[in-house]
Amino acid sequence: MQTPAQPSSTEEHEIHLGTGMGPLKFGASQDEVRSLMGEPEEIEESEEEDEFEHQAWNYLDEGYSLYFDREDDYRLSCIETDHPGIRLYGEAIHGRSPEQIQELMKGHGHEHSEIEKMDTGEMRISYEKEMIDMYFEDEELQFVNFGVFIDEDLEVQWPA
């Protein structure tokens, strides 16, 4: 009897803008995520003053936080990761410089970014249309936060 092939780590940690990462797809139910990832190490509920009611499922050992918004029926809508194996467009991006990331994005048609320097010294590069924020410390990419696409009318565009 053959066992099903396990996804390779390069596929598993590949960011697909607007769609998800590896086998995790935006729009997945909490049960679907649980069957893929197992039980989270912790579940955080949003604070009352937060703009959106949500749950964050933290998989600390794997370096993931998965976000489920109440208004989206607690479907997976955002992923934050600092996993060292994260990839974008087939390239490893963890530890890359802001310039390298901007070149990669530009090479795939993503020209419009916003750069913000934080008071704490970190830097964030955001691509609003692509729904991705990349955070740098000491000129190296540390973590990425990305989500499902939203159109001009603020309607969520769940992947097919």
Task: List, for residues 75-106, the tens digit of each pLDDT value.
Answer: 999 999 999 999 999 999 999 999 999 999 99
Distance CA 57, CA 98 (A): 28
Looking at residue 52, its pLDDT comes to: 73
Alpha helices for 53-138 (secondary structure H): 98-107
Task: List, for residues 7-33, the tens digit of each pLDDT value.
Answer: 444 578 999 999 999 999 999 999 999
Q: What are the residue boundaries of the structural domains of the chain, listed by start?
A: 14-147
Residue 72 phi/psi, 5-degree rounding, is -105, 25
